[in-house]
Amino acid sequence: MVKSDPSTDKGEQTRRHIYATALTLFRERGFDNVTMQAVAEQAKVAKSAAYYYFPSKEAIIQAYYEAVQNEQDRVCEEHFAESSDFKKRVASAMHTKFDLTKDDRKLLGVVFRYTGEPAHPLSCLGKGTEAIRRRSIAIFERAIETERMPKDLQELLPLALWSLQMGLLIMFLYDESPNQQRTRKLADGTLDLSWKLYALTKLPVLRPVRAKITSLLRAAQFLPAV
Amino acid sequence: MVKSDPSTDKGEQTRRHIYATALTLFRERGFDNVTMQAVAEQAKVAKSAAYYYFPSKEAIIQAYYEAVQNEQDRVCEEHFAESSDFKKRVASAMHTKFDLTKDDRKLLGVVFRYTGEPAHPLSCLGKGTEAIRRRSIAIFERAIETERMPKDLQELLPLALWSLQMGLLIMFLYDESPNQQRTRKLADGTLDLSWKLYALTKLPVLRPVRAKITSLLRAAQFLPAV
DNA sequence: CGCAATATTTGACCATGGTCAAATCTGATC
DNA sequence: GATCAGATTTGACCATGGTCAAATATTGCG
């Protein structure tokens, strides 16, 4: 968030207007086929006005992604109120993201553009996106909080589920099957499998495996140090 | 591979020269800080000559990635000749990629730029990069071919190991620990763990799990239909 | 060789993302 | 309602990735 937050209400209006106009155009013609000039013209502002609110063209997509995250938070909060079954909650969290983005897969793809460039402010795994990433993970924390489980799993699961979601999201983008059912089914299947494994967690044979996993991830700094 | 293959030897010379010049500059100043004009000047050709050989600036990085793959093939072939222990072979395949790219992490990151855009010719998961992806996976096929194992695992493992490698590669890019040891250790640890699980594979409790995994991946078309 | 076909090379040009300093608006304060 | 600081808006401008048609070199072949 560099300087793209308007300080006054007027600014907020303009920002929203530019954002909405841009999204409409992106949806109609595709991100790369829409010029900032075109966005500005359609929104009846100068091109530099658009850049006053969004540091780059991709930043508009970032704003879109944040909007999606807001929606997911909202929708999941509702679902969570309805069910305390953590498996259902997790599944609904997972599917909600798909539901919300299914018509915007082209746009969503742009979010991944700087995945390999840690220093880029829009890198989806970088510092600049840490806040939204946390929120994304937090949904899974909330989803499983109805289930009593050992501390290590409680720490591990949200991260694991979030990673799964990221992976599936990419598959989702490539999935040409009608309604992306292939991805949906893989999501369901993987969760199903996870719960089976979760049930086996207490099994003596798997104890050392589980311990090893957490210690590995701790060493890799994916989990907080003990 | 659009039209970037020179037909004559002269062309091949020029191509190589432009490629080498570009890489040197990229390494010195970073991909985004080097203009195609600069590359062309340094190589003493016109900018459009560069574009005659490489359809885009990123395509030069793609060529870099292919060179790395060639090297990996070569190096692994040697290692494989030395050991028939599949665990060692897999580990060496994994580490070789890190070894070869450790000084070019910035460049490597560019390879991931179109991950989210299936239609882009340089999408690292798309059609346009299928050939090199296959080679990347094939290394793991060769790595494990010394070990007798059930058909399903034989199919599954190379893909799983390749995915692991891709994931680790991204972590590698973000890893600021000296020599990227964190990633190296996670790689070793994960492999170690995998072999433990592999040993447990025959265990009755895990049978259904294993069956489920393969059937899931088959349905998702990550594995060939039966 | 001479010449046609093909590969290579070039410079002029375009489109677009992004910058910037100056102009204008807004709203709080006296 | 005059003033001032800060927010907003603007148009002119720049840098650079990429295109293209024309010019030139190369090669294979009668």
**Which CATH number belongs to the domain containing residue B95 in this structure?**
1.10.357.10
Protein CA at A35 to nucleotide C1' at C15, angstroms = 9
Sort residue A16 into left (φ over 0), alpha (ψ -120 to 50) or beta: alpha
Q: Which residues contact B33 (CB under 8 A, 6 or more apart)?
A: none
In this complex, the answer to whether residue A7 has its CB under 7 A from any atom of chain D, a nucleic strand, is yes
> A132 and A31, same structural domain?
no
> A186 and A76, same structural domain?
yes
- Taking the Cβ of residue A185 and every Cβ of chain B, the question of whether any pair is shorter than 8 Å is answered with yes
> A153 and A100, same structural domain?
yes
Alpha helix (H) ranges present in A83-150?
86-101, 105-110, 130-144
Tokens 């155009």 found at:
A25
- Taking the Cβ of residue B30 and every Cβ of chain A, the question of whether any pair is shorter than 8 Å is answered with no
> B105 and B40, same structural domain?
no
For the segment B72-94, what is each residue's pLDDT rounded down to a tens digit?
Answer: 999 999 999 999 999 999 999 99
Q: How many domains does chain B have?
A: 2
User: How close, in Å, is residue A11 to chain B by CA atoms?
Assistant: 32
Percentage of residues in chain A with pLDDT exceeding 70? 96
A188 domain residue, yes or no? yes
Phi and psi at residue B114, to the nearest 5°: -115, 20
Nearest chain A residue to B116 by CA: give it: A109
Looking at strand D, which nucleotides approach a protein CB closer than 7 A?
6-12, 15-21, 26-27
Q: Please report, in tens digits, the pLDDT of each residue of chain B (226 residues total).
A: 334 566 667 778 899 999 999 999 999 999 999 999 999 999 999 999 999 999 999 999 999 999 999 999 999 999 999 999 999 999 999 999 999 999 999 999 999 999 999 999 999 999 999 999 999 999 999 999 999 999 999 999 999 999 999 999 999 999 999 999 999 999 999 999 999 999 988 888 888 889 999 999 999 999 998 7
B226 domain residue, yes or no? no
Is A205–B205 a contact, with Cβ atoms under 8 angstroms apart? yes
- Taking the Cβ of residue B200 and every Cβ of chain A, the question of whether any pair is shorter than 8 Å is answered with yes
- Crossing angle, helix A86-101 and helix A151-174, to 10 degrees? 30
A137 domain residue, yes or no? yes
In this complex, the answer to whether residue A47 has its CB under 7 A from any atom of chain D, a nucleic strand, is yes
> A68 and A34, same structural domain?
no
Nearest chain A residue to B184 by CA: give it: A220
Phi and psi at residue B6, to the nearest 5°: -65, 145
In this complex, the answer to whether residue A55 has its CB under 7 A from any atom of chain D, a nucleic strand, is no
A211 domain residue, yes or no? no
For the segment A170-194, what is each residue's pLDDT rounded down to a tens digit?
Answer: 999 999 999 999 999 999 999 999 9
Nearest chain B residue to A193 by CA: give it: B209
Domain that holds residue B146: 57-219
Look up the pTM and report it. 0.93
- Taking the Cβ of residue B117 and every Cβ of chain A, the question of whether any pair is shorter than 8 Å is answered with yes
B124 domain residue, yes or no? yes
How far apart CA A79 and CA A88 sit, in angstroms, is 9
In the prediction, which pLDDT does A226 show?
Answer: 78
User: How close, in Å, is residue A3 to chain B by CA atoms?
Assistant: 23
